[in-house]
Amino acid sequence: MKIRFGTSGWRAVISDQFTFSNVKIVSQAIAEYVKKMGGKTLIVARDTRFMTEHYAQLVAQVLAANGIKVLMPENPTPTPVVSFAIRHYGLSGGINITASHNPPEYCGIKFNPADGSPASPEITKQIESLIEKIDESKVPMMSIREASAKELFEIFEPRADYMKAIAKKVDLERIKSAGLKVIADLLYGTAAGYLDDLCKSICGDFEVFHNYRNPYFGGGRPEPDETRLREFAERVKNRGWDVVVATDGDADRFGIVDDTGDFVKPNEVIALLAHHLYKNKNLKGPVARTVATSHALDAVAHTFNEKVIETPVGFKFLAATLLSENVVIAGEESGGLTIQNHTPEKDGILACLLILEMMAYEKKALSEIREEFRRNYGEFFNTRIDFELKDEKEKQELLTKFKNIKDYLSGIQITDQDSVDGMRYFFDRPGAWMLARASGTEPVVRIYLEAKDTSTLQSMITAIRKLSR
């Protein structure tokens, strides 16, 4: 069995591949990489999944035995807080025991190097190479008691400093003066004690749901998508709430429902916040998005005479732009974003607070802000179609058909194409494009589509349905 890191760390099913033995091996590989880079101290955190405190302790025992000091928060900790801690305290990196928004049977290990960003492909390849050479029976271990005595283990809490940093990025006083009525759904994840505590102090009225640990996440994946947040639609409309904000299991993704009960797609949220940051906060610099993310963000940037940086899918690629360019906002369609002078990692807590800040600045309902955006920039209709296939053979067959997408199109023509990440086509209709990306870890093909009118979008969807038969 080969252990492979995906777009955001190594994830596997608990007791299948995610075992104590494999956790020891991965921990040793990371320890060897960190030592090779001259590192000395890591933060080791965890989310609210089953057994994460035990996995985190095991990681700490391996790191300590390698002479690496471990700083461990006592409570489940958001991924963005891990990234913040690395940079704020000048650490050599961090490990978070998390599977983010994956179903409850999964767990994972996410590694961030000394710059706080998600580990790049170059780094994870080195770690994977080290993994293949490690004999689990020879991995050293040190008890937490011994590690503490040798000053190689310490319980510490980055929460207060993270909250202070957030207060410098978001105008909490302005939000407080707006008297917003807010619902938060924390999906039993690590935002508990962070987003709910902040909202209690700044919202005119506030109600929180699922702000406690439940390793089963209420019977589904802890992802703040339209399906999961549907339960709040009627509550918002009937009881006069202004907005629903939500985060995923490790608080790096966000979900938003407006005052009419309508789910606001991440693609739209990113563009709305870009407009807010340029217009209301006078920030300067480019925006960054992945190839799978809506071009609504491009329209905003161009209006403010700023450029757009496009990257492959994966926040690690966006993080590189944050570290090298003065990016105002970086986002991806799967619900992750961060902003200028913040951590180079997705931050769902920050995203939710920025929505409240935008509403406070505009002094309008979120539905009104959305309508005004459409009047200024036009509409962007987008969707994603996932094909879960039987095996790699079926996956390749579908991709081969996609190469000949022109055979399935009716009424629209391809004008350009590229392969930045997957296969992407541009069409002879305003803002129309289509992208197919194959998963690197499972037999899944994801197809992203966008157009400026519904008829063009429907033509593209029809073509995809035809080729999938």
- Sign of the torsion angle spanned by Cα atoms 106, 107, 112, 116: positive
Report, as an integer, the average pLDDT of 74-81.
Answer: 98
Other C-beta atoms closer than 10 Å to the C-beta of 42 total 28
Q: Comparing C-alpha atoms, which of 459, 457, 439, 440 is closest to residue 449?
A: 457
Please give the single-letter amino acid code of residue 129: S
Q: What is the pLDDT of residue 440?
A: 66
Q: Which residues contact 356 (CB under 8 A, 6 or more apart)?
A: 170, 175, 178, 180, 182, 199, 202, 203, 243, 245
Rounded Cα distance between 28 and 129, Å, is 12
Q: Tens digits of per-residue pLDDT, 169-216? A: 999 999 999 999 999 999 999 999 999 999 999 999 999 999 999 999
Structure tokens belonging to residue 20: 């104590």
The pLDDT score that the predictor gives to residue 9 is: 87
Q: What span, in angstroms and rounded, lies between the C-alpha atoms of 171 and 313?
A: 31
**Per-residue pLDDT, 1:** 63
Q: pLDDT tens for residues 274-285? A: 999 999 999 999
For the chain, state the CA radius of gyration: 22
Q: Say yes or no to pLDDT of 239 above 90.
A: no
Average pLDDT, the chain: 95
Please determine whether the domains at 10-157 and 161-377 fall in the same fold group of CATH. yes
pLDDT at 8: 74
Q: What is the pLDDT of residues 370-390, one digit of tens each?
A: 999 999 999 999 999 999 888
Could you tell me whether strands 329-332 and 287-290 are parallel, antiparallel, or unpaired per DSSP bridges?
Answer: parallel
Sorted by where each begins, the domain ranges of the chain are 10-157, 161-377, 381-467
Which one, of 113, 199, 206, 127, lies nearest residue 163 by Cα? 199
| pLDDT at residue 389 in the model | 87
Contact predicate 276/361, CB 8 Å: yes
**What phi-psi label fits residue 41: left (phi over 0), alpha (psi between -120 and 50 degrees) or beta?**
beta
Report the alpha-carbon distance of residue 267 to residue 74 in Å, rounded: 35
Q: Could you report the per-residue pLDDT of 4-41, keeping only the tens digit for each?
A: 887 678 999 999 999 999 999 999 999 999 999 999 99
pLDDT at 441 over 70: no
Per the CB < 8 A criterion, the answer to whether 72 and 96 are in contact is no
Output the furthest CA–CA distance in the chain (Å, rounded).
Answer: 73
Averaged over 437-449, what is the pLDDT? 85
- pLDDT at position 146 is 98
Q: In the predicted model, is pLDDT for residue 342 greater than 80?
A: yes
Q: pLDDT tens digits, residue range 102-119? A: 999 999 999 999 999 999
Instruction: Report residue 468's pLDDT band, with 50, 70 and 90 as the boundaries.
Output: confident
pLDDT, residue 6, reads 77
Average pLDDT (309-318) is 94
pLDDT number for residue 27 = 98
Rounded Cα–Cα distance for residues 244 and 234 (Å): 12
Cα separation, 256 vs 224, in Å, equals: 8
- Average pLDDT of the segment spanning 396-402: 90
d(CA 212, CA 220): 15
By the 8 A CB rule, do 195 and 206 touch? no
Q: b/e string for 430-465 if b means 16 or more Cβ within 10 A?
A: ebbbbbbbbbeeebebbbbbbbbeeebbebbbebbe
% pLDDT > 90, the chain: 90
**DSSP-assigned states of every residue in 8-52:** TBEEEEBTTTB-HHHHHHHHHHHHHHHHHTT--EEEEEE-SSTTH
pLDDT over 90 at 225, yes or no: yes
Say which CATH topology domain 381-467 has.
Answer: TATA-Binding Protein (3.30.310)
What are 119-162's pLDDT values in tens digits?
999 999 999 999 999 999 999 999 999 999 999 999 999 999 99
Report, as an integer, the average pLDDT of 356-372.
98
What number does CATH give the domain 161-377?
3.40.120.10
Segments in 95-134 forming alpha helices (H): 121-131
Q: Which CATH number fits domain 10-157: 3.30.830.10, 3.40.50.2300, 3.90.650.10, 3.40.120.10?
A: 3.40.120.10
Report pLDDT for 393. 87
Identify the pLDDT of residue 137: 95
Whole-number pLDDT of residue 392: 84
- On whether the CB atoms of residues 186 and 209 are closer than 8 A, the answer is yes
- Interatomic CA distance for residues 56 and 23, integer angstroms: 9
